[in-house]
Amino acid sequence: MSSMVVRFPDGSREFRFPEKALQEGDPIWHDGARYRVLSVTSDDAGRAVVTVEPQSDDLGDLLRSEEGSVRLVAIE
């Protein structure tokens, strides 16, 4: 798979597929915000479809927000 679709609460976007396949519960980082992967499925074209939800806005979480997160790279 070369790309994946990520379904954010405010809409879907397409990204390059990361080296490590995403799994449920993984943290990801995009546009200054941290999200948690809820599910990973496939569409009819064979692309991964990843549904995410925002992570907590707790101060401790924000200070560690990039730690261990997969950074998404947009398809240009």
Q: Is 45 a domain residue?
A: yes
Number of domains in the chain: 1
For 27-38, the pLDDT digits (tens) are: 888 888 889 999
From 18, 24, 30, 16, select the one nearest 51 (Cα to Cα).
Answer: 24
Containing domain of residue 17, as a range? 3-58
Q: Which two tokens mark 18? A: 């990361």
pLDDT of residue 40: 93
Check: CB of residue 3 under 8 Å from CB of residue 51: no
Listing from the earlier edge strand, what are the strands of the sheet with 48-54?
11-16, 3-8, 48-54, 33-42, 27-30, 70-71
**Full-model pTM:** 0.72
Angle among Cα 73, 58, 61 to the nearest 5 degrees reads: 45
